[in-house]
């Protein structure tokens, strides 16, 4: 089912599938593609936020700042790939992570994947997120 209820990316969900919580099964968009590298939860001075929820918030804010350079907003993000160093910590903090996600990204839930990794390049990083956005022409 293609959700055409709003401008910008459309949610893709096959007929009969349950509504996922906190992400979309797929997205469709037409326009200029914007991609980020792996973005982490440090500020403009290289200082990390404390804890996974705080690093997630800073990471998402950093992604919003990057896509804004191209004129895009959170609603234009069609995919997020999350890399976390501790999936159990991520699962335990889902409520807090969900709250900071909605604070930064609103109620826009693109296609997402979460993967546990052994570690990230920056030793203090607990989460790294890659984003893809599509800015309508």
- pLDDT attached to residue 17: 83
Residue 120 gets the label, from left (phi > 0), alpha (psi -120 to 50) or beta, of beta
Q: Which two tokens stand for residue 9?
A: 């990316």
What is residue 85's DSSP assignment? S
Average pLDDT over residues 108-117: 94
Question: E strands along the chain, which residues?
Answer: 2-3, 10-12, 26-28, 32-35, 39-40, 77-84, 111-116, 127-135
* For residue 8, pLDDT beyond 80: no
- Report all structural domains of the chain as residue ranges with CATH numbers, in order of start: 2-135 (3.30.1330.40)
* For residue 15, pLDDT beyond 90: no
- pLDDT attached to residue 1: 45
Tell me the C-alpha distance between 38 and 129, whole Å: 5
Which of the two residues, 116 and 15, has the higher pLDDT score?
A: 116
Query: Cβ contacts of residue 132 below 8 Å, gap of 6+?
Result: 33, 34, 35, 36, 77, 78, 79, 80
Q: Which two tokens stand for residue 30?
A: 């037409």
Q: Structure pTM?
A: 0.86
Give the tens place of pLDDT for each residue, 60-104: 999 999 999 999 999 999 999 999 999 999 999 999 999 999 999
- pLDDT attached to residue 30: 83
- pLDDT attached to residue 27: 67
Average pLDDT, the chain: 90
* For residue 4, pLDDT beyond 70: no
Local structure of 67: helix, strand or coil:
helix
13 touches 26 (CB < 8 A): yes
* For residue 113, pLDDT beyond 60: yes
């Amino acid at each position: 089912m293609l959700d055409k209820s709003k401008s910008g990316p459309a949610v893709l969900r096959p007929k009969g599938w349950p509504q996922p919580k906190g992400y979309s099964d797929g997205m469709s968009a037409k326009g200029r593609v914007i991609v980020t590298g792996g973005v982490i939860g440090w500020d403009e001075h290289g200082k990390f936020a404390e804890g996974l929820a705080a690093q997630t918030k800073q990471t998402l804010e950093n992604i919003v700042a990057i896509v804004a350079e191209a004129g895009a907003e959170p609603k234009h993000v069609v995919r997020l790939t999350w890399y976390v160093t501790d999936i159990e910590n991520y699962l335990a903090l889902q409520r807090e992570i969900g709250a900071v996600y909605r604070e930064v990204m609103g109620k826009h839930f693109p296609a997402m994947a979460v993967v546990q990794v052994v570690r990230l390049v920056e030793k203090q990083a607990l989460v790294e997120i890659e984003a893809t956005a599509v800015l309508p022409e």
